[in-house]
Amino acid sequence: MKTSIKSLVVGPSGAGKTFFSGTFPKSYWICTEPDSKTTLECNPNLIKNIYKHEYFIPSPVKDEKQTMEEVNKACLEAHKLYNEGLIETLILDNITYFSENVWNYYSRYEPELTKTGEIDTRAMYGKLGRFLYRFVLMNLCSFPGNVIVTAHIKQEHEEAMKKKAGDDDIVADILGGFRNQAPGMFSLVLFLDKIRIGDNKYKYMGRLNLGNGKLAKNRYNLPEVLENISYQTIVDAIVKAKGEIKK
């Protein structure tokens, strides 16, 4: 039985989040990161994996409201394409930008106000968190195939750490409290890193379990760290883990 990979992929700019996502087969990209397709276009071996790639970025001719409506339509299309056997992977690249766009949408169209008419920041963050939870649950987690959601990385500030039960201070950069809920919604929370090993030579590493202040995790019985991480290296590791369990 083929195992679908549901992953939140976290890392700094340049760590290989888009490249890693591009190794997944028959993919449908919902892209909110400006010009990320350049990474794919400059690596022809990745282009063959893309069924459809669309940008959803607000502009002077298409504001946040229209952008949000189009994102929802794209999610619906992706589910239909999977049922037709045309795609295997749904990618949201990048939820860091997406959460900011949602905040801007609410600020412009559905602001929460105090009794004195000022922006109620706390209520707005609550609204943002509820929206992101529902969006990820309904549109992404319910997708039957592979799901990849990329995010930039951030270090929690002192006040945020006081409110947390754990001591993990390196997290996905998602606006609002949803960044604490998001990891529980995926079977793999993967932290990527890029290590320089020579002139224009790099090693791409993936942390798949807790360590170095990063709350990475996986439900696939995978090793703590994988080198040269890609769709195939993860699949191979899952197959190996299943074989060891059977023994």
A 10 A CB-CB count for 87 gives 23
* 194 φ, ψ (degrees, to nearest 5): -120, 120
pLDDT tens-digit map of 88-131: 999 999 999 999 999 999 999 999 889 888 989 999 999 999 99
| pLDDT tens, position by position, 142-183 | 999 999 999 999 886 544 434 444 455 788 999 999 999 999
Question: In the prediction, which pLDDT does 245 show?
Answer: 55
User: What pTM was estimated for this model as a whole?
Assistant: 0.90
- Distances, alpha carbon 113 to alpha carbons 53, 62, 104, 110, 236, in Å: 37, 26, 15, 9, 52
Q: Which of 91, 75, 96 is nearest to 179 (CA)?
A: 96
**Percentages (nearest 5) of helix, strand, coil residues in the chain:** 40, 25, 35
Instruction: Supply 206's token pair.
Output: 């993936």
Angle CA 55–17–130, to nearest 5: 65
CATH code 3.40.50.300 for 6-246: yes
